[in-house]
Amino acid sequence: MSLVEIKDLKVHYPIRSGFLNRVTDKVKAVDGINLNIEAGETYGLVGESGSGKSTTGKSVVGLEKITSGSIKYKGVDITNVSARRNVNYNQSVQMIFQDSLSSLNPRKRVLDIIAEPLRNFQHLSTEEEKIRVLQLLEIVGLSPESLYKYPHQFSGGQRQRIGIARAVATNPELIIADEPVSALDLSVQAQVLNFMKKIQREFGISYLFISHDLGVVRHMCQNIAIMNKGRLVEVGTREDIYDNPLHIYTKRLLAAIPEVDVSKRQERQQQRKQIEKMYNEQADQYYDEEGLAYPLVQVSPTHFVALPKEQIIDQLK
Amino acid sequence: MEDGQELLELNDISTSFKIDGQYYDAISHINLTVKRDGILAIVGESGCGKSTLATTIMGLHDTDTTRISGQALFDGQDLLKLDDKSMNDIRGAKIGMIFQDPLSALNPLKRIADQISEGLDYHTTMTSDEKHARVMELLSQVGIVNPERTARQFPHELSGGMRQRVIIAIAIACKPDIIIADEPTTALDVTIQAQILDVLRGIQAENHAGIILITHDLGVVAETADEVAVMYAGEVVERGTTEQVFNNPQHPYTRSLLRSVPQGNQDVTHDDLYVIEGSVPSIERMPQTGDRFAPRIPWIPAEAHEENPSMHEVAPGHQVRCTCYQQFYFKSLEETNK
């Protein structure tokens, strides 16, 4: 049994208009996705802005009201609030946000920020609480003096580490990391990613790693799902996605990443042009009449791609 | 117009900001040249002064709280000495600027066509028909499929990529000799980023402009720039052609930065990325003498650094600050993890 099983998750937002303000249409932010996260792994969810990746993350934490489908945590459907309480869900699932400045209360000290989840779930004395917060600060590599400082007194990387300390405070089993490093500089990004891996090794935490950065995802995740317009277009291991992408959207996304290797410059530009041309010519074959991706079809034990069956057979030839 | 002609020469530029009554250097002693038909990338992390350099060239600083020294020679005149009126004749006409956040750079209450022709109103004597034709031409040059329609729209009706194209159209409206692009693709998705960089390259080929591309993304630099200047803590620490800097990096900072890029061949649970020790000092705490990068490579002996670091030529056109590059080595992974 996987730690998390998401089945046919749909999140639709109603669009109201007209005289009676009736629901006239809906935005399909997430439209029927399935994925399983195993204990102790980092699962990558990749997509461009507006693909529904953050909505998926929020639904898993319970910040989004889902339209239909189920999210099972250790076999229990947590879309039901009372069931969620039984498995201590709100304590075992935490979130790291993209923008560390807006996700930390500017008027609270670091001590109060990190202790907030502890105060919600564990009943510690003031002294015990302080000891625990100091421990957490040490895990993320911040000095004990940080306790009484305010968020604005830290750099971006340090703030993101405060966010991580808060997320690991309750010893969670799953952390939803929504673009945890995209606002950070390269050298700070390296620090934060190393921390995330370190606490994973120590505490066996699973991550749902939501990102648009395919370079970072390749560094962090063994299993990856590519999301486009609310549906998954390709799911597979790191090798499946990077070495053998089958969906045009995945290919285009991969071709667009700028590489640090100067000698491959011409080659990469050629390749990008070629894929862009292919995308313009054949994009409609990869999407249904509504412009959405087809259901996923299995092409290997680990690799799934959203294409009609006939086409997959052609592709694999 | 010859290729490689020097358009803009920056000599010993320093800009300092007044903080609590005292001036602190945001950039110090910058020497760079921008050539016609070339893309010069200025790369560095946040706070290294790369945007300050752009705003200094454009004369966008409040002189009451900023002190600027040095020369920016353009077309035989020093941009830093010009009065407001002469600078207004250059801004937008001879030097165009592309900003990072297209939504806040556009006026939400004006139609796209009016925003593009604003520069034309100010700098040219075109009739309204000519202006309309020019706007259409510009919009198609930046790859907008239906220029007539887009021209009538407001910024909120366009996607992020479209807005950035409009910003580029505004910057190139008067065919400037120099385009300063400050993080032009940072707010965009990778596929859109690739398209915008293509547009920039195309414009450079057509207009024979010189482009200053300011970015923190090493991949973007490697794929777009002809020349690179790497900045750390307000100083240029290494400069050269893109091939020289990426294939044969010399300065410890450049080497460390390139090493911290995720490569994708590492193991997902066990392999860590290279981390540069410590952090960039704040502007008030910046050491005024010695090598500013020295505190971040403490295992390199102090004698390796110069007291007053200067640029050293390691190959024709390839320069490195401070002598410490000769003795620099990476700590082994075990030592780093201690």
Instruction: Give the SS3 label for residue B216.
Output: coil
pLDDT of the residue at B107: 94
Say if strands A174-178 and A206-211 run parallel, antiparallel, or are unpaired: parallel
List the 33-52 stretch of A: residues with Cβ below 8 A of B: 42, 48-49
Distance of CA A221 to the CA centre of its chain: 11
Of the residues B259, B261, B271, B338, the best mutation for testing chain A's interface (the one with the most A CB atoms within 10 Å of its CB) is B261
Considering only alpha carbons, which residue of chain B is nearest residue A242? B264
pLDDT digits (tens, 9 = 90+) for B98-122: 988 888 889 999 999 999 999 999 9
Mean pLDDT of B83-94: 91
Instruction: Give the SS3 label for residue B334.
Output: helix
Distance of CA B276 to the CA centre of its chain: 23
- CA A275, CA A259: separation in Å to the nearest integer? 16
pLDDT of the residue at B14: 94
Distance from CA of B85 to the nearest CA of A (A): 38
In the predicted model, is pLDDT for residue B333 greater than 80? no
Q: Nearest by CB to B216, from A48, A185, A269: name it.
A: A185
For tokens 């040095």, name the residue.
B70
Mean pLDDT of B58-84: 90
Residue A44, both tokens: 């990558």
Considering only alpha carbons, which residue of chain A is nearest residue B269? A197
Mean pLDDT of A54-59: 92
Distance from CA of B284 to the nearest CA of A (A): 14
- CA A245, CA A225: separation in Å to the nearest integer? 12
Q: CB contact, 8 Å: B262 with chain A? A: yes
Q: Domain boundaries in chain B?
A: 8-35+43-94+181-190+212-338
Instruction: Give the SS3 label for residue B19.
Output: strand
- CA B173, CA B165: separation in Å to the nearest integer? 12
Q: What is the DSSP letter of A129?
A: H
pLDDT digits (tens, 9 = 90+) for B162-185: 899 999 999 999 999 999 999 988
- CA A123, CA B103: separation in Å to the nearest integer? 47
Say if strands A206-211 and A42-46 run parallel, antiparallel, or are unpaired: parallel
ipTM of model: 0.84
pLDDT digits (tens, 9 = 90+) for A68-107: 999 999 989 988 888 888 888 988 999 998 888 889 999 9
Mean pLDDT of A24-33: 89
Residue-averaged pLDDT of chain B: 89
Q: How confident is the model at residue B336 (pLDDT cuts 50, 70, 90)?
A: low
B-chain residues within 8 Å CB-CB of A258? 190, 193-194, 197, 217, 219-220, 222-224
- CA B293, CA B295: separation in Å to the nearest integer? 6
B-chain residues within 8 Å CB-CB of A155? 279
**Phi–psi pair at A277, nearest 5 degrees:** -65, -45
For tokens 């020294």, name the residue.
B69
Q: Nearest by CB to B258, from A49, A155, A260: name it.
A: A260
Which residues have CB under 8 Å from A235's CB, separation 6+?
Answer: A35, A223, A224, A225, A226, A296, A303, A304, A305
Considering only alpha carbons, which residue of chain A is nearest residue B255? A187
Q: CB contact, 8 Å: A259 with chain B? A: yes
Helix (H) / strand (E) containing A92: helix A89-92
pLDDT of the residue at B133: 94
pLDDT of the residue at A21: 83
Residue A211: closest CA among A251, A247, A183: A183
pLDDT digits (tens, 9 = 90+) for B118-134: 999 999 999 999 999 99
Mean pLDDT of A121-134: 91
Residue A290, both tokens: 């509504």
Which residues have CB under 8 Å from A114's CB, separation 6+?
Answer: A133, A136, A137, A162, A165, A166, A169
pLDDT of the residue at A305: 93
Q: CB contact, 8 Å: B12 with chain A? A: no
Distance from CA of A226 to the nearest CA of B (A): 14
Using an 8 Å Cβ cutoff, are A183 and B186 in contact? no
pLDDT digits (tens, 9 = 90+) for B212-268: 999 999 999 999 999 999 999 999 999 999 999 999 999 999 999 999 998 777 777
Considering only alpha carbons, which residue of chain A is nearest residue B225? A262
In the predicted model, is pLDDT for residue B334 greater than 70? no
Which residues have CB under 8 Å from A80's CB, separation 6+?
Answer: none
Distance from CA of B323 to the nearest CA of A (A): 23
Residue B230: closest CA among B152, B311, B301: B311
Q: May I ask the CATH architecture of the domain B8-35+43-94+181-190+212-338? A: 3-Layer(aba) Sandwich (3.40)
**In this complex, do B275 and A214 lie within 8 Å of one another by their Cβ atoms?**
no
Distance of CA A242 to the CA centre of its chain: 18
Considering only alpha carbons, which residue of chain B is nearest residue A213? B190
pLDDT of the residue at A17: 83
**In this complex, do A258 and B45 lie within 8 Å of one another by their Cβ atoms?**
no
List the 89-108 stretch of A: residues with Cβ below 8 A of B: none
Using an 8 Å Cβ cutoff, are A223 and A216 in contact? no
pLDDT digits (tens, 9 = 90+) for A172-227: 999 999 988 887 888 888 888 988 998 899 889 999 999 988 889 999 999 999 99
Q: CB contact, 8 Å: B89 with chain A? A: no
How many beta carbons lie within 10 A of that of residue B238, not counting itself?
26
How many beta carbons lie within 10 A of that of residue B305, not counting itself?
18
Query: Strands (DSSP E) along chain A, which ranges?
Result: 4-17, 22-37, 42-46, 68-73, 76-77, 93-96, 174-178, 206-211, 223-228, 231-237, 296-298, 304-306
B-chain residues within 8 Å CB-CB of A212? 189-190
Residue B39: closest CA among B190, B202, B170: B202
- CA A46, CA A31: separation in Å to the nearest integer? 16
B-chain residues within 8 Å CB-CB of A214? 190
B-chain residues within 8 Å CB-CB of A200? 269
pLDDT of the residue at B3: 60
In the predicted model, is pLDDT for residue A65 greater than 70? yes
pLDDT of the residue at A237: 94
Q: What percent of chain B has pLDDT over 90?
A: 56
Distance from CA of B290 to the nearest CA of A (A): 22
pLDDT of the residue at A24: 82
Distance from CA of B59 to the nearest CA of A (A): 27
Number of residues written out for chain B:
338
pLDDT of the residue at B145: 87
Q: How confident is the model at residue B275 (pLDDT cuts 50, 70, 90)?
A: confident
| Count helices and strands in chain B by DSSP H and E runs | 12, 12
In the predicted model, is pLDDT for residue A46 greater than 90? yes
Q: CB contact, 8 Å: B276 with chain A? A: yes
pLDDT digits (tens, 9 = 90+) for B253-272: 999 999 999 877 777 777 88
In the predicted model, is pLDDT for residue A317 greater than 70? no
pLDDT of the residue at B210: 92
Distance from CA of A186 to the nearest CA of B (A): 7
In the predicted model, is pLDDT for residue A37 greater than 60? yes
Residue A157: closest CA among A122, A201, A187, A179: A187
Query: Strands (DSSP E) along chain B, which ranges?
Result: 6-19, 22-35, 39-43, 66-74, 77-78, 95-98, 178-182, 210-215, 227-232, 235-241, 311-315, 318-321
Residue B108, Cβ density class (10 Å: 0-12 exposed, 13-18 middle, ≥19 buried): exposed
Residue A143, both tokens: 């000095």
pLDDT digits (tens, 9 = 90+) for A221-268: 999 999 999 999 999 999 999 999 999 999 999 998 888 888 888 898
How many beta carbons lie within 10 A of that of residue A85, not counting itself?
12
Considering only alpha carbons, which residue of chain B is nearest residue A219? B264
Residue A121: closest CA among A167, A166, A170: A170
Q: How confident is the model at residue B335 (pLDDT cuts 50, 70, 90)?
A: low
| Count helices and strands in chain A by DSSP H and E runs | 13, 12
Q: What is the pTM of this model?
A: 0.88
Q: Nearest by CB to B274, from A157, A190, A200: name it.
A: A190
Residue B28, both tokens: 């110090």
Q: How confident is the model at residue B2 (pLDDT cuts 50, 70, 90)?
A: low
Residue A117, both tokens: 């989840």
In the predicted model, is pLDDT for residue B92 greater than 60? yes
**In this complex, do A200 and B194 lie within 8 Å of one another by their Cβ atoms?**
no
Instruction: Give the SS3 label for residue B182.
Output: strand
| Strand order, beta sheet including A93-96 | A93-96, A174-178, A206-211, A42-46, A223-228, A231-237, A304-306, A296-298
| Strand order, beta sheet including B95-98 | B95-98, B178-182, B210-215, B39-43, B227-232, B235-241, B318-321, B311-315
Domains in chain A (CATH in brackets) are: 4-228 (3.40.50.300), 229-317 (no CATH)
